[in-house]
Structure 1
Amino acid sequence: MSDRGIDELRALREYDAEAPPLDNATRNRARARLFAAMSTTSATDRSAARTGRRPVLRIALTGGVAAAVAAGVLIAMPDHDKGDGARAARPGTSSPVMRNVSARTVLNDAAAYERKHEKAVSPRDDQFVYTKEIIQETNQETGAEKSYVDEDWRSVDGSQRSWVMEIGHGWWAPPLQKDETMWPPQDWGTLRKLPTDPEKLILSLLQKTGPDDRNDSLDDITEEEWSDIHFSLAGLLKLVPVMPEGLRPAAYEALGMVPGVRAVPNQKDAKGRTGVAITYDDPMIPSGKGGYGGFFIFEPRTHRFLGFRDERTSGDGANLKRYVQLSYLDGWAVVDKVKQRP
């Protein structure tokens, strides 16, 4: 069993020992997520699953892939070094508590910054999206630090095998099979189909509806559905470093609409800069156990995105080790061949 699967089992076991029992609906939902995580992380040769930090769900599902065109060059991520803990309330135009919440302000500002500075790109189907990520990992017990450089080459249309890395270890991810899809999607055609309006993006993530269903509104979303929506949005923002124009800003704004999202001040990023972080209190997970997504760290003035803060574990029992990971995207490009650097 993978480290993530062990962690999930430990969390459930400790919850039963320390708190009242889960109700049947919550227990079934926790089991479903556990099995999804276990099946994903135990098959790293078949997906881009990232241990601890980056789970990818690879699911058999009917769906088409649209074509995309054009090319790009290496984009170096800028290093401009120029809250309180309020939470986002349930969205809705009739609710006055929606106004001026810190988490939502940070994410709306991040969306505005992204719209102003994002580089439009439309790669060809036969190309690859290259990304270079820097990761700094600290052992929480010993304080020992280690750095990694992860380089990925993702097939644009998903028809070719991709090369993916996690904390210095790489593997080949095969193309999706017929009627198989992945969340978050990695192929450009599927990404381009996602709505760039934040409310429509949220509604499109619900299994029961689509972005054009006029009978649905954000006010009708249940607490459990908001938890699933956050899981999907956090995965999209963490696992897809390069997106079609307008999608990342929409995802930031959508994340700000999720009840339970909150701002945490004075968080350090991988370069030692102090920023404001956005995290999520998942009501479907026992208190103190944390949830998926970690911390999204933003520059405190412009709210430009700086990087991620996550935690992972390895081993078990007396050999259990806990790590804090700080990471950021160092650069990206569109290239013609896998393993080709710009």
Structure 2
Amino acid sequence: MNDHPTGAPPERHGDREEIARLLPAPADWDLPREQHLRHKDRLMHQIDHDRTDRDQVARPASTRPRSIRPRSPRTRSARQLLRPAILAPATALALACAVTAGIALTGGDPAPAGTASHGTATDMRPAAALLDRISDATETRADLTVRDDQFVYTREKTRGADLTSGKAVLGPLVDREVWAAQDPAPLRKLGLIREDGQTFPINAEFGDTEGTPAGINRPTYHWLSSLPTDPDKLLTYLYAKTPQADGRERDQAVFEQIGSLLGEVMPPRTAAALYRAAAKIPGVTPAPEARDAIGRRGLGIARDDTRYGIRTEWVFDKNAYTYLGCRSYLVKDTPYGKTGTLLSSAAELEHAVVDEAGRRPTEAQETRAERQG
């Protein structure tokens, strides 16, 4: 996430340590991976901007550049991350829930492949049959051509719970667009996010001072196409590479890792292999009542995190077997809410490949038509 060279003066790296010191102890609970990574990216992006603003104020007027980088956009509820140079006390708890969980799930050494428990899964045969049908349908779809200089565009609707008060308070449904860079090289700017009309860059992963390369935390189309298509080999790879977290159930972590990839544009053979690999994880079950963020009911695949009492569901179209979205909710009473409390949900609406970040597929088509005319 750090956009500055490694040779920057030491005092410019102190802000993150100071903010980390101000946060309360981590909560004994983890957000779904995609949600806490989104919080973490916004936090670190805001820190970079606030630090720049303070530097501008501290300089003599004669040495300040005339153009100052604009401040990052504000977001609502728990995602109102920072006021200028100050952490709002109520926000600190939300950051602890989001950022420390994100560090836990993305830090540490990967567990060795021998720790995988996917050798036998006898408790989810109905789910295996359903995932096999989804895999068969997926393999028949046409492949795409994606260049390294292009961007994968995703449009979706999402919502998440605000944990600032210590209770899960569900936020509004949000329109979200993402342009993900496909360049496999380490990048400091990974693309753009536009949410409720506000656009801001996606920064490199926290700690990647030289940029984040394509990989499990930045799955480009070509990286996804390089994954094993044999389900057993793929699952062994995922158990080895999925980031380890203390106390985190390994099977659940890998299930959610696969879920984080399902909304990506990928070769059909890779998607089919992921579904067949998921069928081998113990505890995976059908979810007849599954629905996405906009209420579309479909074929559901779920797994319960028994430690935290959270169910994660994937939703597929009943006829075409296409991926519609996901949701997570409590399946037992916890300090954050009662059984059934929704924590997060998403609905996938559109996927495309475009030549420019910030340009929608329809805008790109209009531009090409004008050039041809």
**In the alignment, which of 349, 352, 355 is matched to residue 333 of structure 1?**
352
Structure with the greater alpha carbon radius of gyration: 2
Q: Partner of 2:270 in structure 1? A: 247
Q: Partner of 1:310 in structure 2? A: 328
Report the 3-state secondary structure (helix = DSSP H, G, I; strand = E; otherwise coil) of the residue aligned with 2:180: strand
Q: Partner of 1:153 in structure 2? A: 179
Percent identical pairs in the alignment equals 24
Q: Which moved more, 1:102-111 or 1:263-272?
A: 263-272
**Following the alignment from structure 1 to structure 2, what is the Cα–Cα distance between the partners of residues 169 and 311?**
28
Q: Is the 8 A contact 2:45 2:203 kept in 1?
A: no
**Following the alignment from structure 1 to structure 2, what is the Cα–Cα distance between the partners of residues 167 and 310?**
22
- 1:266 has 2:289 as partner: yes
Instruction: Give the TM-score normalised by structure 1.
Output: 0.58
**In the alignment, which of 226, 230, 233 is matched to residue 255 of structure 2?**
230
Report the 3-state secondary structure (helix = DSSP H, G, I; strand = E; otherwise coil) of the residue aligned with 2:266: coil
Which string of whole-angstrom CA distances, capped at 9 and with x for unpartnered residues, describes residues 114-169 of structure 1?
2123x311211111111111236799x99998432211111111545410246765
Q: Partner of 1:111 in structure 2? A: 135
Cα distance change of structure 1 residues 277 and 147 upon mapping to structure 2, 3 Å threshold: same
Report the 3-state secondary structure (helix = DSSP H, G, I; strand = E; otherwise coil) of the residue aligned with 1:202: helix
The answer to which structure has the higher strand fraction is 1
Report the 3-state secondary structure (helix = DSSP H, G, I; strand = E; otherwise coil) of the residue aligned with 2:277: helix
Q: Partner of 1:164 in structure 2? A: 193
Give ranges in structure 1 of 5+ residues lacking alignment.
13-34, 62-89, 210-222
Q: Is the 8 A contact 1:58 1:183 kept in 2?
A: no
Cα distance change of structure 1 residues 178 and 233 upon mapping to structure 2, 3 Å threshold: same
- 1:276 has 2:305 as partner: no
Instruction: Give the TM-score normalised by structure 2.
Output: 0.54
Q: How does 1:74-223 map to 2 (within 5 A)?
A: 92=119, 97=122, 101-117=125-141, 119-135=142-158, 146-158=172-184, 159=187, 161-165=190-194, 170-174=199-203, 177-178=209-210, 180-181=212-213, 183-207=216-240
The answer to which structure has the higher helix fraction is 2
**Following the alignment from structure 2 to structure 1, what is the Cα–Cα distance between the partners of residues 197 and 342?**
15
**Following the alignment from structure 2 to structure 1, what is the Cα–Cα distance between the partners of residues 303 and 133?**
18
Report the 3-state secondary structure (helix = DSSP H, G, I; strand = E; otherwise coil) of the residue aligned with 1:129: strand
The structure whose RCO (Cα within 8 Å, separation 6+) is larger is 1
Q: Is the 8 A contact 1:188 1:244 kept in 2?
A: yes
**Following the alignment from structure 2 to structure 1, what is the Cα–Cα distance between the partners of residues 343 and 197?**
16
Amino acid at match of 2:177: E
Q: CA RMSD, aligned part only?
A: 4.7
Give ranges in structure 2 of 5+ residues lacking alignment.
1-18, 31-35, 48-78, 80-97, 110-116, 243-247, 362-373
- How many Å apart are 1:326 and its aligned residue? 3.9
**Following the alignment from structure 2 to structure 1, what is the Cα–Cα distance between the partners of residues 24 and 286?**
30
Q: Partner of 2:70 in structure 1? A: none
- How many Å apart are 1:9 and its aligned residue? 0.2
Which string of whole-angstrom CA distances, capped at 9 and with x for unpartnered residues, describes residues 232-272 of structure 1?
222222xx421133111111111111001112212333454
- How many Å apart are 1:341 and its aligned residue? 1.5
Q: Partner of 2:60 in structure 1? A: none
Amino acid at match of 1:153: W
Report the 3-state secondary structure (helix = DSSP H, G, I; strand = E; otherwise coil) of the residue aligned with 1:110: helix
Which string of whole-angstrom CA distances, capped at 9 and with x for unpartnered residues, describes residues 59-117 of structure 1?
799xxxxxxxxxxxxxxxxxxxxxxxxxxxx755xx6947x811112222111222123
**Following the alignment from structure 1 to structure 2, what is the Cα–Cα distance between the partners of residues 177 and 97?**
44
Cα distance change of structure 1 residues 199 and 272 upon mapping to structure 2, 3 Å threshold: same
**Following the alignment from structure 2 to structure 1, what is the Cα–Cα distance between the partners of residues 277 and 146?**
26
Q: Is the 8 A contact 2:300 2:316 kept in 1?
A: yes
Amino acid at match of 1:309: R
**Following the alignment from structure 1 to structure 2, what is the Cα–Cα distance between the partners of residues 116 and 6?**
50
- How many Å apart are 1:300 and its aligned residue? 4.4
Q: Is the 8 A contact 1:310 1:324 kept in 2?
A: yes
